[in-house]
């Protein structure tokens, strides 16, 4: 098994997604509120995981632009649920030693008086292990 | 009627009005929100990863506590409700996940998602009923044009949340009608405000929040109601005072005559 095949297997297991169900209609990307900010779009995540083109996704800032809004999950006609791949890829990166994208130490510089705890907890859950 | 209540962290700190007016309104409508003992933070977001277990344990403990009392578990915050409901769904449908969780936390009785998880809006609609809400209104908000801001978490993923039609929801509009105000339907009522990504990319959340506010204002809304402290923060911070945003429980308490202006 090549490294790419191993990574693909891990991503499919963590996400529970079957990319072969995708008909490449682009609805997920069309509805994605982060589309303009993403280098790779939800339908590309599906296609690139399927073809084993995984390294560029792991290196992309797109992983941190997903809002977890579940729009692509709900609106995909084939129930592929691309956000689950984005989540699995992001975890593959941040679960490595020292690879947290957001650290508790970053917080004091970023908070204002009104910031809800919910925001900080959510960001820590998404961006660090 | 007595239900188990999961307030959540933010309702104890920055969103006290969401909590306080929920409790007072529920009491006026004959429902006691019994705060469960020793609840812990829901985590704010549900991890979609099937192998993420530790971060879901606090929700299972709360759900199992409600099961022990034989009561539904009610929350008011959209995020808490979303995480509790998705976790409960995973306990019902994912046997591997459920057995690992049960082995680890060893609850008094094995937990398999038996608790009914309700958002406060569902409590109003399904348990109390809009007619009873309407009958309890003392100061109807007549003539007020209110936009419902659903955001993402109340409705999606819709197969799990099962609160309403995810594309054409009406639960908040029905709520607005019940308190005597006029609901304003606008295109972006169930699109994202930018969520937690505001900390990573403030410009992105600014853009998303503005789209929501412009959409609501364009349709004639005078104010927006939300159930989510993060939505409210993003809309307020990015909105440049475009539209006031309040918690739906504030309007409910006002209409029930429980709130001094
Ligand atoms: S919406 Fe679904 S089927 Fe269409 S491209 Fe996206 S993942 Fe594929
Ligand atoms: S969940 Fe993420 S990838 Fe999917 S539509 Fe929302 S922002 Fe885009």
pLDDT over 90 percentage in chain A: 90
Q: Residue B204 CA to chain centroid, in angstroms?
A: 23
More confident residue, B210 or B13: B210
Domains of chain B: which residue ranges? 2-121, 136-255
The reported pLDDT for the residue numbered A107 is 87
More confident residue, B15 or B124: B124
> Measured between CA atoms, how close is A73 to chain B, in angstroms?
7
The reported pLDDT for the residue numbered B186 is 98
Give distance in angstroms: CA of A108 to centre of ligand 2. Answer: 28
Using a CB–CB cutoff of 8 Å, tell me whether A22 touches chain B: no
Q: Do B13 and A84 touch (CB under 8 A)?
A: no
Using a CB–CB cutoff of 8 Å, tell me whether B180 touches chain A: no
**Topology of the domain covering B136-255:** Rossmann fold (3.40.50)
Chain A neighbors of B10, CB-CB under 8 A = 116-118
| CATH number of the structural domain B2-121 | 1.20.1050.140
- The predicted complex's ipTM stands at 0.96
Give distance in angstroms: CA of B103 to centre of ligand 2. Answer: 33
Ligand nearest the Cα of residue A34 is 2
**Its pTM surpasses 0.80:** yes
Q: What is the pLDDT of residues B72-106, one digit of tens each?
A: 999 999 999 999 999 999 999 999 999 999 999 99
Average pLDDT of chain A to the nearest whole number: 96
Indicate which of B15, B48, B97 best probes the interface with A, i.e. most A CBs within 10 Å of its own CB.
B48
Average pLDDT of chain B to the nearest whole number: 96
Q: B119 pLDDT exceeds 80? A: yes
Q: What is the pLDDT of residues B133-173, one digit of tens each?
A: 999 999 999 999 999 999 999 999 999 999 999 999 999 99
Give chain A's domains with CATH numbers: 3-96 (1.10.1060.10), 102-129 (no CATH)
Ligand nearest the Cα of residue A22 is 1
Q: What is the pLDDT of residues B189-210, one digit of tens each?
A: 999 999 999 999 999 999 999 9
Mean pLDDT of A35-40: 98
Of B48, B208, B233, the CB nearest to A115: B233
């Amino acid at each position: 098994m090549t490294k790419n095949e191993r990574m693909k297997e891990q991503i499919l297991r963590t996400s529970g997604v079957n990319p072969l169900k995708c008909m490449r209609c682009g609805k997920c990307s069309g509805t994605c509120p982060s589309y303009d900010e993403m280098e790779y779009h939800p339908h590309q995540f599906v296609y690139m995981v399927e073809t084993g083109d995984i390294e560029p996704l792991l290196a992309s800032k797109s992983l941190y632009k997903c809002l977890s809004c579940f729009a692509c999950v709900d609106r995909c006609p084939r129930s592929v649920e691309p956000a689950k791949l984005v989540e699995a890829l992001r975890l593959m990166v941040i679960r490595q030693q020292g690879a947290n994208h957001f650290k508790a130490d970053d917080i004091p510089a970023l908070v204002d008086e009104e910031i809800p705890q919910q925001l900080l907890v959510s960001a820590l859950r998404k961006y660090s292990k | 009627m007595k239900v188990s209540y999961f307030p959540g962290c933010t309702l104890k700190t920055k969103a006290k009005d969401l909590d306080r007016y929920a409790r007072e309104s529920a009491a006026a409508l004959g429902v006691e929100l019994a705060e469960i003992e020793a609840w812990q933070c829901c985590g704010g977001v549900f991890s979609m990863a099937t192998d993420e277990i530790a971060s879901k344990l606090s929700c299972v403990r709360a759900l199992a506590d409600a099961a022990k009392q034989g009561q539904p578990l009610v929350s008011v915050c959209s995020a808490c409700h979303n995480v509790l409901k998705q976790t409960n769904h995973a306990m019902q449908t994912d046997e591997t996940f459920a057995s690992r969780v049960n082995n680890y936390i060893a609850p008094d009785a094995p937990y398999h998602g038996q608790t009914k998880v309700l958002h406060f809006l569902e409590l109003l609609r399904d348990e109390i009923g809009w007619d009873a809400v309407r009958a309890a209104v003392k100061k109807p908000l007549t003539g007020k044009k209110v936009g419902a801001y659903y955001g993402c978490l109340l409705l999606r993923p819709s197969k799990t949340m099962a609160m309403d039609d995810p594309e054409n929801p009406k639960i908040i509009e029905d709520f607005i009608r019940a308190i005597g105000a006029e609901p304003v339907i606008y295109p972006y009522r169930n699109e994202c405000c930018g969520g937690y990504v505001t900390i990573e990319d403030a410009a992105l959340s600014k853009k998303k929040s503005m789209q929501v506010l412009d959409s609501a204002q364009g349709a004639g809304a005078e104010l927006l109601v939300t159930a989510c402290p993060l939505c409210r923060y993003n809309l307020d911070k990015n909105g440049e005072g475009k539209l006031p945003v309040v918690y739906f429980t504030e309007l409910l308490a006002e209409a029930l005559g429980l709130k001094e202006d």
